[in-house]
Amino acid sequence: MTEQDIRTLMNETQATLNDGGRPAIEFSGEARIPANAPLAAYFDHTLLKPEATADQYRTLCEQAREYGTRSVCVPPDRVALCATELAGSAVEVCTVIGFPLGYHTSSAKVTEVEMAASSGATEFDMVIPIGKMRDGNVEAIYDDVRAVVAAAGSQIVKVILETALLDDRQKVAAATAAMHAGAAILKTSTGFSSAGATVEDLRMFRTIAGARRGVKAAGGIRNLTFARACIDAGADRIGASATGAILAEAAGHSGPSDTTEGGGY
């Protein structure tokens, strides 16, 4: 899909939403990573394995402090633990909403945001209702994202589009609806589907996100070469469990055995 094709479909989607009484919502925060930022600042150091233990989350937080990552990304039931472990640090606590399938009701997602925020979460990665996007229902995507963005207030909301399950036109329409609803960052994948981030999708999302909003690459990012390719394609964030190994590779030496690596990311 050419850039002109992307922009044409963006305009069509925005017109559909505006005509349906769904106005564009501005994002007033900071979603981009400065061009001169260290590599670690791009990373959301991630552990979303269902069997992960409290000790593994403590290790994740210790590593995030050591590496200087932007955040840890953890399930809602581990937010309080990680917020305690990271108190006084610059590392954000990110959690997932409607994860990993996206077909929770919007009211359930809002409740997840409210509960996670009360436990210390400061960023939220939400999954869209993927089947509704495949129906062509961009209004449903807008309404779902808008509800979560409103619940999150001034905090960052990243919208997971699960690109492996959408064709290019659906990706553009869903991403445009998410931006129109006030999301801060477009994210490729949960890491739990049939494929993850691609350079092509990241370039597409960079066009849609524009100059002020962000793009997150997630799913299958396990080495420095691909991480840098994602950043070169426009990613402001990298979601990965192999953070330590990637940063060690960048520093020119072998990384530690990464206790967070496994299924999903």
Helices and strands (H and E) in the chain: how many: 10, 8
Residue type, 102: G
Asked if the structure places residue 25 within a domain, the reply is no
Residues 6 or more apart whose Cβ sits within 8 Å of residue 264? 46, 48, 49, 100, 190, 191, 192, 241
In total, how many domains does the chain have?
1
In the set 109, 158, 171, 216, the catalytic residue is 216
Residue type, 137: N
Asked if the structure places residue 119 within a domain, the reply is yes
In the set 44, 109, 125, 258, the catalytic residue is 125
φ/ψ (deg, to 5) at 165: -105, 5
Residues 6 or more apart whose Cβ sits within 8 Å of residue 59? 259, 260
Asked if the structure places residue 263 within a domain, the reply is no
Catalytic residue flag (residue 216): yes
Residue type, 116: A
Asked if the structure places residue 27 within a domain, the reply is no
Q: What is the DSSP letter of 214?
A: E
CATH number of 115's domain: 3.20.20.70
Asked if the structure places residue 117 within a domain, the reply is yes
Q: Which tokens in the block code for residue 61?
A: 């937080």
Q: Which domain holds residue 211?
A: 3-20+39-251
Q: Which tokens in the block code for residue 40?
A: 């670690």
Count of alpha carbons within 13 angstroms of residue 137, beta-carbon side: 11
How far is residue 169 CA from its own chain's centroid? 20
Asked if the structure places residue 138 within a domain, the reply is yes
Catalytic residue flag (residue 135): no
Residue type, 135: D
Per-residue pLDDT of the chain (265 residues; tens, 9 = 90+): 899 999 999 999 999 999 999 999 999 889 999 988 999 999 999 999 999 999 999 999 999 999 999 999 999 999 999 999 999 999 999 999 999 999 999 999 999 999 999 999 999 999 999 999 999 999 999 999 999 999 999 999 999 999 999 999 999 999 999 999 999 999 999 999 999 999 999 999 999 999 999 999 999 999 999 999 999 999 999 999 999 999 999 999 765 544 444 345 5
Asked if the structure places residue 53 within a domain, the reply is yes
Model pTM?
Answer: 0.94
Cα–Cα dist 226/57, whole Å: 25
Q: Which tokens in the block code for residue 95?
A: 């959690």
Catalytic residue flag (residue 171): no
In the set 109, 132, 158, 187, the catalytic residue is 187
Strand partners, 238: 43, 217
Asked if the structure places residue 264 within a domain, the reply is no
